[in-house]
Chain A
Amino acid sequence: MKKSYRAISIVASVAMVATALLAGTSAADAATKVLTISSDLPLQGSSFDSNDSTNKAIALYLKQIHYKAGKYTVKFKIYDDATAAKGSWDDAKCAANAQAHVANKSEVAVMGTYNSGCAKIEIPILNQAPGGAMTMVSDANTNPGLTKSWNPGEPDKYYPTGARNYARVCTTDDVQGSAAAQFAKSIGVKSVYVLNDTQTYGQGVAQAFTTEAVKQGLTVLSSGAYGEGWDAKQSDYTALFTKIKALNPDMIYVGGIFDNNGGQLTKDKVAVLGDNTKVKFMAPDGFTGYPEFNSMPEADGAYLSFAGLSSDLLAKIDPKGAGANFVKAYKKEYKKDPVGSYPVYGVAAVQVILAAIAKSDGTRKGVTNAIFSGSGITIPAKTSVLGKALTISTLSGDTLAKDVTIEIVKGGQETTLKAQTVK
């Protein structure tokens, strides 16, 4: 009996604390023309550095344009879709964030997410927002199924209302995989063994690579649509590479992310098959932006691809362009370079959102319509931080650019080799 009273009193005291907290605050944000845009990125665990840099880049960009989009003033709010308990994106947190975006009345559009899995949760919720779908523009989701037909039911199952509300400024895994295969052919590779980290992203890239490699006439020595999976929890891959050695491939293509024990994989590859000039080693952007990888002696000579144009390529293409200038401004403001290439893409996504806001009536629906109907959104080359015109397809929400950067690791640094535009 006593216990039940105690339970009630606890509930009551929690409620009292809650009301006390409520009473202590005053109404704010009453101004009408202030619109909020937000970022929704994982800010815990290994991708923190890159995403923190993205938030910093967006904050800097908004400051540069004096927080103006057309006749509206724009405010920036940061959401974290990771929990410390998980150390990476968290499905429940993604769902909660999507609800919070919708509940926050002044919020009109979201820049995010970083992980495609998180996008799969958030897009349908934003899609069904009462009063009109809310748009999300991602800087980093490379999973093709979010916007084009890929697995059964995709992409329609993410858009319950039937209307699109999701765009992205990076190219997709299939484009990146294809570009890598075309590049492999161009450097004289004849046979290749494909590995994947068994995850969504890794398999997607590996599948696209395999398909294109076959089309290009390369011999794919691994079996299956996306090659052989490597187990991230394994401590040693010597046996795997010994098996591969017997097949004598010219190149190992590794579809996956560095976090999945990519360091050990790289070490064992070099130990068994020899350095990366002998048997070439290529990985997608899941291996870019990791100083730990670049500084490994075994990584020297490894080829990497990036779904878009890397920051240093921006400077190379047009040293006086908007992209190069922005990277310079970032360095001046924060005393270091943006981490990896996604921060610039984050700003590009924000540019799309701001252009849509400028074109809209200041409502969520207006912003969504600006992107997905009529002439859509094009950021001209002069202002685009990506160094070239950025056009979002009004049908799929994908960027029309199919640029992939090929990099090579040299002396502990990712060095841009060339831009590979997918034919």
Chain B
Amino acid sequence: MSILKRSKSATKAGAHATSQRKWAIGFLIAAVLIWVFYTYVMVHLPDGIQTVVQNWFPPTSLNEALVWVICALGLNIVVGYAGLLDLGFVAFWAIGGYSAGWFMSAFFTQVNFRVFTTAAKALPGIHISFWGVIFIGGLICAFFGIIIGAPTLRLKSDYLALVTLGFGEIIPQVFTNGSNIGGFNLTNGTQGISPVDNIGVPGKSLGPFDFSWKFFIFVFLTAFMVFISLRLRTGRLGRAWLAIREDELAASMMGVPLMRTKLSAYAVGAFSGGIGGVAFATHVNGVFADRFNFSISIILLAMVVLGGMGNVWGVMVGALLIAWINSTGLPAFGDLVNNTFHTTINFPSYNFLLFGGVLVLMMLFKREGLIPESRLKAILHESDDTSTNVGGSH
């Protein structure tokens, strides 16, 4: 059976090359359609309809959701591809956010360092262009990804999850309490760092109302992560990740270097978290330690699991959906119900009840997620279609 599966996936790899061009086109069309709608169509709609769009699908929440997608795609590499349960992904988001805070703001007043920045000349601090900080933030995160990966190499499942959980708790604490590290103010504590510099594009500095520009930049970053995810998956590294996910021992017997492969999963995943963090800091125009709590890690994990572990499109849909429900969907729905039936139910407070319920139902009836990865689906349903249980299902 496994030989059969392998040959099947080999033919699939051939088909992937063409499908990857297709996704790029599909993705671009979707992005352009949304952009055209918000930039050109929306302004001509009657006020009433504009209000409804503002209430249900405000452009800011769209941009915010894209940040979630970027982070979820990173987590998908760690959890979905390599099968390493990570409960502390928020740490990378935080590190990315603070990279933006450090390198794109007037926070370090003691220095004056500028590279292609949009910031005003009079402003002290380190001001590096957004495009540079994206990579700096990503690389710092990748470095921390390796640091967290290193001690976990010998660990499996529950133990691994605990170490990542610890990491996810430690990093935000460092940021919260980092206002006085031997007399040096590294993070400004809970006051956070704000504002950060505007994103610069040729001939323009993007203010808070340039959604469409930011939308395109975030879409570009998402596409970049999708591209990385898809390309890596079909490549040697991706196949090694999948092999580790399915059977670590067998993979190492087949010659997959466990250490390098696992570390690269952490590094690539963390890189994505860093990009997301920088993007988020420019989205809210600042970085605040309060935000980075455990629930962010859990929501990201829920996005990956609900959407379909290992499937880039599933994760994207899961992330968009959950981010939207959390920020706008549920409050807007609550308003609608409360206004219609004159009730005063606090809908958003049922958020976790809803998530929990949906997750339980999903685990009972559709374990592989909304848009499952074909391979994972096959494993999860292995016992369904053969009389002998191979023991591969978890």
Residues 313-363 of B contacting A (Cβ, < 8 Å): 313, 316-317, 326-328, 330-331, 346, 348-352
Known contacts: A8-B29, A103-B58, A198-B189. The answer to whether A121 contacts B284 by CB under 8 A is yes
- By size class, the interface of chain A is 35 or more
Give B196-210 interface residues, CB cut-off 8 Å to A: 207-209
Q: B33: which A residues are within 8 A, CB to CB?
A: 11, 15
- Chain A residues whose C-beta falls within 8 Å of the C-beta of B208 in the assembled complex: 95, 98-99, 124-125, 128
Interface status of B252 (Cβ within 8 A of chain A) = no
Min CB gap B102→A, angstroms:
15
* Interchain CB contact under 8 A, B348 and A83: yes
Q: Select one of B52, B64, B316 contacting A22, CB under 8 A.
A: B52
Bound Cα distance from A161 to B280, whole angstroms: 23
Task: Tell me the smallest distance from the CB of A29 to a CB of chain B, in Å.
Answer: 6
- Chain A residues within an 8 Å CB radius of B261: none
Is B371 in the interface zone, CB < 8 Å from A? yes
Contact (Cβ within 8 A) B48 A85: no
- Among B128-136, B238-246, B289-297, the stretch that binds chain A is B289-297
Q: Is A92 an interface residue (CB 8 A)?
A: yes
Expressed in whole angstroms, the minimum distance between the Cβ of B383 and any Cβ of chain A is: 25
Q: Number of residues in B with C-beta < 8 Å to the partner? A: 71
A22 touches B58 (CB 8 A): no
B194 to chain A: which residues have CB within 8 Å? 120-121, 157
A337 interface contact, C-beta 8 A = no
Instruction: Provide the residues of chain B in CB contact with A27, threshold 8 Å.
Output: 46-49
Interface string of A63-105 (1 = CB under 8 A from B): 0000000000000000010111110111111111011101111
Contact with B along A54-67 (1 / 0, CB 8 A): 00000000000000
**Residue in A closest to B27 when the chains form the complex, CB atoms:** A7
B60 at the interface (CB under 8 A from A): yes
Determine how close the nearest CB of chain A comes to the CB of B171; give it in whole angstroms: 14
Pick from B15, B60, B191: contact of A151, CB under 8 Å: B191
Residues in B whose Cβ lies below 8 Å from that of A105: 47
A198:B176 contact, CB within 8 angstroms: yes
Residue contact A96 to B327, C-beta cutoff 8 Å: yes
Q: How far is the CA of A340 from the CA of B141 in the complex (A)?
A: 44
Consensus secondary structure, chain B interface: helix
Instruction: Verify if B299 is at the interface (C-beta below 8 Å from A).
Output: yes
Q: Please name all residues of chain A whose beta carbon is closer than 8 Å to the beta carbon of B331 when the two chains form the complex.
A: 80
A246 within 8 A of B: no
| Smallest CB separation, A198 vs chain B (Å) | 6
Flag whether B216 is at the interface (Cβ < 8 A): no
Chain B residues in 8 Å Cβ range of A129: 209
* B189 in contact with A44 (CB, 8 Å): no
Q: Known contacts A15-B33, A85-B299, A102-B209; is A124 also within 8 Å of B291 by CB?
A: no
- Expressed in whole angstroms, the minimum distance between the Cβ of B44 and any Cβ of chain A is 13
- B54 at the binding interface (Cβ < 8 Å): yes
A92-B283, A103-B58, A130-B209 are known contacts. Are A7 and B26 too (CB-CB below 8 A)? yes
Query: Which residue in chain B gives the minimum CB-CB distance to A158?
Result: B195
Q: Which of the 9-residue segments B16-24, B75-83, B157-165, B262-270 touches chain A?
A: B16-24
- Take A7-B313, A95-B283 as given contacts and tell me if A29 and B192 are in contact as well, using a CB distance cutoff of 8 Å: no
Residues of B close to A26: CB separation below 8 A:
48
CB–CB A92/B106 < 8 A: no
With A93-B327, A95-B283, A198-B190 in contact, is A85–B53 under 8 Å at CB?
no
Determine whether A153 belongs to the interface, using a CB cutoff of 8 Å to chain B.
yes
Residues of B within 8 A of A80 (CB): 331, 348
Knowing A11-B30, A91-B284 touch, does A86 contact B291 (C-beta < 8 A)?
A: yes
B57 at the A interface (CB under 8 A): yes
CB of B285 within 8 Å of the partner chain: yes
Contacting residue for B54 out of A7, A85, A103, A158, CB 8 A: A103
Take A80-B331, A92-B280, A198-B190 as given contacts and tell me if A85 and B295 are in contact as well, using a CB distance cutoff of 8 Å.
yes
Residues of A within 8 A of B176 (CB): 198
Compute how far the CA of A403 lies from the CA of B302 in the bound complex, rounded to whole angstroms.
Answer: 48
**Chain B residues in 8 Å Cβ range of A158:** 195
A30 touching B47 by the CB < 8 A rule?
yes
Residues in A with CB closer than 8 Å to B311 are 3
Alpha-carbon distance A200/B19, docked complex (angstroms): 51
Judge whether A91 and B288 touch: CB under 8 Å: yes
Q: Is B9 an interface residue (CB 8 A)?
A: no
- B284 touching A29 by the CB < 8 A rule? no
Instruction: Report chain A residues within 8 Å CB of B149.
Output: none
Bitwise, A281-312 to B at CB < 8 A (1) or not (0) is 00000000000000000000000000000000
Query: Is the beta-carbon distance between A100 and B47 smaller than 8 angstroms?
Result: no
Evaluate contact between A104 and B54: CB separation under 8 angstroms: yes
CB–CB B313/A96 < 8 A = no
Please indicate the chain A residues that have their CB under 8 angstroms from the CB of B53 in the complex.
18, 22
Instruction: Kindly provide the distance from the CB of B214 to the nearest chain A CB, expressed in whole angstroms.
Output: 11
Chain B CB within 8 A of A21 CB: yes
Measured CA separation A120–B49 after assembly (Å)? 31
CA distance A80 to B332 in the complex (A): 11
Q: Please give the distance in Å from A206's CB to the nearest CB on chain B.
A: 13
A239 within 8 A of B: no
Q: Are A83 and B209 in contact (CB under 8 A)?
A: no
Q: Could you tell me the distance in whole angstroms from the C-beta of A310 to the nearest C-beta in chain B?
A: 27
User: Out of B51, B295, B327, B330, which one reaches A92, CB within 8 Å?
Assistant: B327
Contact A4 B22 (CB under 8 A): yes
- Bound CA–CA A21/B331 (angstroms): 16
From residue B194, how far is it (CB to closest CB) to chain A in Å? 5
Instruction: Give the distance to chain A from B299, nearest Cβ to Cβ, in Å.
Output: 6
> A152 interface residue, CB < 8 Å from B?
yes
CB of A126 to closest CB in B, whole Å: 9
Q: For residue B52, which residues in chain A have a CB less than 8 angstroms away from its CB?
A: 21-22, 25
Q: Which residues of chain B come closer than 8 Å to A229, judged between CB atoms?
A: 177
- CB-defined contacts of A83 to chain B, threshold 8 Å: 326-327, 348, 351
A contact residues around B291 at 8 Å (CB)? 86, 90-92
Q: Which residues of chain A come closer than 8 Å to B30, judged between CB atoms?
A: 8, 11
Interface centre among A21, A84, A130, A160 (most CB of B within 10 A): A84
| Bound-complex Cα distance A409 to B262 (A) | 57
Compute how far the CA of A240 lies from the CA of B179 in the bound complex, rounded to whole angstroms: 21
Interface digits, A212-255 against B, CB 8 Å rule (1 contact, 0 not)?
Answer: 00000000000000000100000000000000000000000000
Do A29 and B299 touch (CB < 8 A)? no
Flag whether A203 is at the interface (Cβ < 8 A). Answer: yes
B23→A7 contact, CB < 8 A: yes
In the complex, what residues of B have CB within 8 A of residue A11's CB?
26, 30, 33
A1 at the interface (CB under 8 A from B): yes
The answer for the CA separation of A1 and B47 in the assembled complex, in Å, is 41
B277: interface (CB < 8 Å): no
Counting from the closest, the 3 A-B pairs by CB-CB distance are A27-B48, A84-B351, A11-B30
Offer 20 A-B interface pairs, CB within 8 angstroms, sorted by A. Answer: A1-B18, A7-B316, A7-B317, A8-B29, A11-B26, A22-B45, A27-B48, A29-B48, A29-B51, A43-B346, A83-B326, A94-B284, A95-B208, A99-B211, A100-B54, A120-B194, A121-B285, A124-B195, A129-B209, A198-B179
Other 10 A-B pairs with CB < 8 A, given A27-B46, A80-B348: A10-B371, A11-B33, A22-B53, A44-B346, A83-B327, A83-B348, A89-B290, A91-B290, A96-B61, A99-B60
A: residues with CB less than 8 A from B are 1, 3-8, 10-11, 15, 18, 21-22, 25-30, 43-44, 48, 80, 82-86, 88-96, 98-100, 102-105, 117, 120-121, 124-125, 128-130, 151-153, 157-158, 160, 198-200, 203, 229
